[in-house]
Amino acid sequence: MSGEIVKILSGVVLIVLGIAWYFVRVPVLSDVLSTGTLVPFWRALLAAFAACFGIVLLLAGLVMAWIGYDDYRESREAET
């Protein structure tokens, strides 16, 4: 039963990190994007990664929490 709770909690942590990605300023990433030291392709690739990373974390957290909750529900049904 503790394995399911760990899955649910780690999913919730990923959801929070996915949301926080868009609201917390990351100085290293914003400094790299603002300077002109990168080739335009790599700057665009890094910007696209930065834009998509939060959504990926959010969706991975949702899937992990869903799987953990489903495992928890199945183990509760098996006990009865």
pTM for this model (two decimals): 0.69
Domain count, the chain: 1
3-state secondary structure string across 19-66: HHHHHCCCHHHHHHHHCCCCCHHHHHHHHHHHHHHHHHHHHHHHHHHH
List phi, psi (to 5°) of 37.
-80, -20
Range of the domain at 57: 2-79
Provide the pLDDT confidence category of residue 22 given band limits of 50, 70 and 90. confident
Residue written as token pair 């999913």? 11
**Residue 68's closest CA among 15, 3, 4, 14?**
4
Place of tokens 């994007």: 33
**For 31-79, what is each residue's pLDDT tens digit?**
666 666 666 777 778 888 888 988 999 999 999 999 999 999 998 888 8
pLDDT band at 30 (very low <50, low <70, confident <90, very high): low
